[in-house]
Structure 1
Amino acid sequence: MTHTYRTIDVPVRGGDLRVGVWEPDGERTVDVLAVHGVTSSHLAWPFVVDALPGARIIAPDLRGRGASTELEGHAGMNAHADDLAAVLDLLEVPRALVVGHSMGAFVSLVFADRHADRVSRLVLVDGGLPLDVPAGMSPDEVIQHVLGPTAERLAMRFASTGDYLDFWRAHPAFANDWTPELERYLAYDLVGEEPELRPATSYETVAEDSIDQNTGTALADALAGLRHPTVFLTAERGLLDQVPALYAAERIPTLIEQYPGLQHVAVPGVNHYTIVLSKRGADAVARIVREEPVVSSPGA
């Protein structure tokens, strides 16, 4: 084992935020703030943790997800960003390298804009830059266009944890990447009682965040003011292991041209999920993180 895992509860607006912390067993080289996706949780990061033996990984359940579902008040990009600042405050981390996956990449950008002095570098993993959403869509149409079956799953009920795992076993994204780490991640997502188990994240929370992400001003302001060294990683395939990916290959040169300070890294052989939830995807993310040469925090 290269890390010791624990969870803490961090006071934020409206309640407590659950946070996973992986402390390195040896000398710490960097603090990494890891921000998960739209219906995910802090347990999305075990492969990245294993690939970074010297890093302390700090990963919250964003409000409305995982064990952070009892918070009062609205979500949205600014709310999540301010929650991240509260996490670093409690752990006495002055600056961190921030890794965000999917919606977490959008949150990370807004965090870096609102709390610029808390961020040393940004790693955006298959998210963060504007999505290719047709104009004129309603909020529900935007969610369906981007997330599709991911959003539909939130209304489903499952008789047992085994039934939920069986549901995911049939998912094309994990056809070649079913692991004990994935099972633990998926089981953690369930709330309620048998036979009425359900995903922790509500459709209303996804809608609130997706509308803010795609139509609010926070992300546009953050991208316009981008001033941290930033790497943008993209998966070869999409949420259903399909091509085109979330960021189609033909769009990427135009996106990079719009943000000339951005470094792009294409990650082959992974989809939107397995870019973090597989060893080969996590190794690609970790290679970028290991470029950080400075210890971010003296310890907490």
Structure 2
Amino acid sequence: MTKPVELDLPVEGGAKLRVLRFGEGPRAAVAAHGISASAMSFAAVARQLPPGWSLFALDLRGRGGSDTVPGPYGVDIHAADICTAAARLGGGRPVALTGHSMGAYVALRAAARRPELFDRLLLVDGGMPLPLPPGADPDAILDATLGPSIARLSMTYPSDQAYVDFFRAHPGLGPYWNEDIEEYVRYDLTGPQGARRSRAQQEAVRQDGRELLTSAASFGADLTGLTVPARLLYAPKGLMDQTPAMNPPELVAHWKAQAPELAVEEVPDCNHYTIVLGAAAKTVAARLASPA
């Protein structure tokens, strides 16, 4: 596997974000990852892009190589960072934009706020507003849906292999294990030997997750007001390789009716993770390289 080039991107507040550049072509794409993930989740997609492309995947604040960048977190600041990347790394022309899971909401917000920076938007198993039931506790819902992902952020592991084994036991990843998944997992590691841990910061994950659950109205406005050509790819299986998925067909159909210019496509034989980390990455790359 070809290693990406690591770049440091100055952003608002004087911080520098880590960016992984995959490829050397003049045509640029910018990517935002999921809530507890990293830029390395786009390695398989980048490898499937046609010649002439470069994919710039950000480690969002509090994750990956940007793990020491402090808050504030939240969709608005992540979207501003994506816009900075597009403006500085796009070679003076609009770029293709994609985001997976939480990153899809970040990409949606960026395209809604600064449409002149982007010539297409690809949402990957995310970006659909998720209304919070009346009276529901966002933190309780986070624990119910992302409990294992959040729990690992406060755990330590005796070795790199122990961390890899933790992920190999995950039903959404283990049965589909490949080199890209292993590289993604190993990239996430930090800390001393004997006490290895994830680079994703629990405060960042919780703050961002809470906002995703309480901001359905603003995401709906972003989606229905888009002027950038947009496409949604969604997986038939969810986080734990289960059905219903995170974006069930009825939810997709509802927002397709609200935003008729949004193209939608189910990608078969994948789950929330393997849509970018498995064979389905070829479909994601093909749609990213083609106008929506």
Same fold (TM over 0.5): yes
Aligned pairs for 1:182-201 (under 5 A) are 182-201=181-200
Q: CA deviation at 1:144?
A: 2.0
Instruction: Tell me the residue number matched to 2:108.
Output: 109
Instruction: Tell me the residue number matched to 1:73.
Output: 71
* Cα distance change of structure 1 residues 210 and 273 upon mapping to structure 2, 3 Å threshold: same
Instruction: Tell me the residue number matched to 2:40.
Output: 43
Partners of 1:258 and 1:276 lie apart in 2 by 26
Partners of 2:221 and 2:36 lie apart in 1 by 24
Instruction: Tell me the residue number matched to 1:23.
Output: 23
* Cα distance change of structure 1 residues 51 and 142 upon mapping to structure 2, 3 Å threshold: same
Instruction: Tell me the residue number matched to 2:257.
Output: 257
Q: CA RMSD in A?
A: 1.9
2:49 equivalent among 41, 49, 52: 52
Partners of 2:173 and 2:141 lie apart in 1 by 25
Partners of 2:107 and 2:124 lie apart in 1 by 10
1:29-88 Cα shifts (integer Å, max 9, x gaps): x31111111111111111111111322101110111101022233011110111112222
**Larger CA deviation: 148-157 vs 36-45:** 148-157
Aligned pairs for 1:176-255 (under 5 A) are 176-216=175-215, 218-255=218-255
Partners of 1:119 and 1:39 lie apart in 2 by 25
1:190-212 Cα shifts (integer Å, max 9, x gaps): 12112222111122111111122
Q: Secondary structure at the match of 1:144?
A: helix
Verify the 8 A CA contact 2:94 2:119 in the aligned structure 1. yes
Pairs aligned (count): 288
Partners of 1:98 and 1:284 lie apart in 2 by 15
Q: Which amino acid aligns with 1:250?
A: E
Query: In the alignment, is residue 84 of structure 1 matched against residue 102 of structure 2?
Result: no
Verify the 8 A CA contact 1:13 1:72 in the aligned structure 2. no
Q: Which amino acid aligns with 1:97?
A: A
Partners of 2:66 and 2:258 lie apart in 1 by 35
Could you tell me the percent identity over the aligned residues?
A: 37
Query: In the alignment, is residue 8 of structure 1 matched against residue 7 of structure 2?
Result: yes
* Cα distance change of structure 1 residues 133 and 245 upon mapping to structure 2, 3 Å threshold: farther
TM-score (norm 1): 0.90
Q: Which amino acid aligns with 2:40?
A: L
Q: Secondary structure at the match of 2:143?
A: helix
Q: CA deviation at 1:267?
A: 0.8
Partners of 2:234 and 2:132 lie apart in 1 by 17
* Cα distance change of structure 1 residues 206 and 93 upon mapping to structure 2, 3 Å threshold: farther
Instruction: Tell me the residue number matched to 2:164.
Output: 165
TM-score (norm 2): 0.92
The structure 1 segments of at least 4 consecutive aligned residues displaced by more than 6 Å after TM superposition are: none
1:158-205 Cα shifts (integer Å, max 9, x gaps): 111100001111111123321122111101111211222211112211
Partners of 2:74 and 2:92 lie apart in 1 by 24
Verify the 8 A CA contact 2:87 2:117 in the aligned structure 1. no
Partners of 1:236 and 1:178 lie apart in 2 by 19
1:239-286 Cα shifts (integer Å, max 9, x gaps): 0000111112333222211221111100111000000001x2101112
Verify the 8 A CA contact 2:61 2:71 in the aligned structure 1. no
**Larger CA deviation: 132-141 vs 46-55:** 132-141
Higher helix share: 2
Instruction: Tell me the residue number matched to 2:121.
Output: 122
* Cα distance change of structure 1 residues 4 and 164 upon mapping to structure 2, 3 Å threshold: closer
Instruction: Tell me the residue number matched to 2:287.
Output: 288
Verify the 8 A CA contact 1:13 1:73 in the aligned structure 2. no
Verify the 8 A CA contact 2:229 2:291 in the aligned structure 1. no
